[in-house]
């Protein structure tokens, strides 16, 4: 859980993690858009725009490196507390990104998956998201999972409620409920186990993101603000991951 600059790890020649140890599933808490804009005397929306560009670069780097799934924390269930103008800007950028990138992502074999409840968004935005998910559903090269209106505690609550309903209906015995049964109820049930979780901007917390899934994932915190986190920074994070020894509590 050490904090390192994104550029601290050596960059491998093959563009992936050191020694070819590529994480199957990488998740990123994309933090620092507002601070990036403030430092430049720009409105927050400018930071979000640059953050969208960073997401595009990182997705490309992840695909080239052989990462199977990239999960991005785009809009948390707590983000509704932000000013309405900023929420509107975020929704507009999300719509623009999907409209601009969908055909290219589909052509590159990227499957788009949503975790969280995007039905809470405006109907036109929700429909656009559904279109992207449906269009790319059969793609197999890589998965881009986008967390929208997502909160890990709420995800776990929903999983517990679903299991409780099955018990109540006589479909499940409480004594048979284990980790696998809970995982089967999570939004990430069809994704690979989470190997690496990155947070940008110098903050050292998970902020209600993938709490169950990160139980044994490697955590990497970098001071780099998200708009400045590019392909090189992502490759450096993969190299840092590749240099670690994962023990899973065994020794």
Query: Each residue of 211-227: pLDDT tens digit?
Result: 999 999 999 999 999 99
Class of domain 22-242: alpha beta
Mean pLDDT (the chain, rounded): 91
Q: For the stretch 158-179, what's the b/e string if a residue is b when 16 or more beta carbons lie within 10 angstroms of its beta carbon?
A: ebeebbeebeeeeebeeeeeee
Domain locations in the chain? 22-242
Residues 6+ apart with CB under 8 A from 186: 155, 156, 159, 212, 213
Question: Residues comprising the binding site?
Answer: 31-36, 44, 48, 76-78, 80, 82, 199, 205-207, 218
Classify residue 201 by its DSSP letter.
T
- Give the global pTM: 0.89
Please confirm, yes or no, whether 31 is among the known catalytic residues: yes
Q: What is the pLDDT of residue 20?
A: 56
Active site residue: 14, 21, 79, 89, which one?
A: 79
Annotated binding-site residue numbers for substrate:
32-36, 44, 48, 76-78, 80, 82, 199, 205-207
Residues of the binding site for Mg(2+): 31, 218
What is the pLDDT at residue 3?
43
The share of the chain scoring above pLDDT 90, in percent, equals: 81
pLDDT of 103: 96
pLDDT at 246: 80
The runs of H, that is alpha helices, within the chain are 33-39, 44-65, 84-107, 123-135, 152-168, 179-183, 231-242
pLDDT of residue 250: 59
Q: Pick the catalytic residue: 2, 14, 21, 31?
A: 31
The string of pLDDT tens digits covering residues 147-179 is: 999 999 999 999 999 999 999 999 999 999 999
pLDDT along the chain (251 residues), means of 10: 38 39 97 96 95 96 98 92 89 91 96 95 93 97 97 98 98 97 98 98 97 97 98 97 81 59
What tokens appear for 152 in the block? 């890990």
Q: What is the pLDDT of residue 245?
A: 84
Amino acid 106: pLDDT: 97
């Amino acid at each position: 859980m050490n904090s390192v600059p994104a550029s601290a790890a050596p960059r491998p020649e093959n563009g992936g993690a050191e020694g070819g140890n590529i994480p199957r599933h990488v998740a990123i808490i994309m933090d620092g858009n507002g601070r990036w804009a403030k430092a430049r005397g720009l409105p927050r929306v400018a930071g979000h725009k640059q953050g969208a560009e960073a997401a595009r670069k990182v997705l490309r780097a992840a695909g080239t490196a052989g990462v199977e799934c990239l999960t991005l924390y785009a809009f948390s269930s707590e983000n509704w507390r932000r000013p309405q103008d900023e929420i509107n800007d975020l929704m507009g950028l999300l719509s623009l990104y999907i409209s601009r990138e969908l055909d290219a992502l589909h052509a590159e074999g990227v499957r788009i998956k949503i975790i969280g409840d995007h039905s809470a968004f405006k109907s036109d935005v929700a429909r656009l998201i559904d279109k992207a998910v449906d269009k790319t559903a059969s793609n197999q090269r890589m998965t881009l999972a986008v967390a929208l209106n997502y909160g890990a505690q709420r995800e776990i609550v929903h999983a517990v409620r679903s299991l409780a309903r099955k018990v109540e209906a006589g479909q499940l015995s409480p004594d048979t409920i284990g980790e696998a049964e809970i995982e089967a109820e999570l939004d990430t049930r069809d994704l690979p186990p989470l190997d690496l979780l990155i947070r940008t901007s110098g903050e050292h917390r998970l902020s209600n993101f993938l709490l169950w899934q990160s139980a044994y994932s490697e955590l990497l915190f970098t001071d780099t603000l998200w708009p400045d986190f590019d392909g090189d920074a992502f490759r450096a994070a993969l190299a840092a991951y590749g240099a670690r020894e994962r023990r899973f509590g065994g020794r």
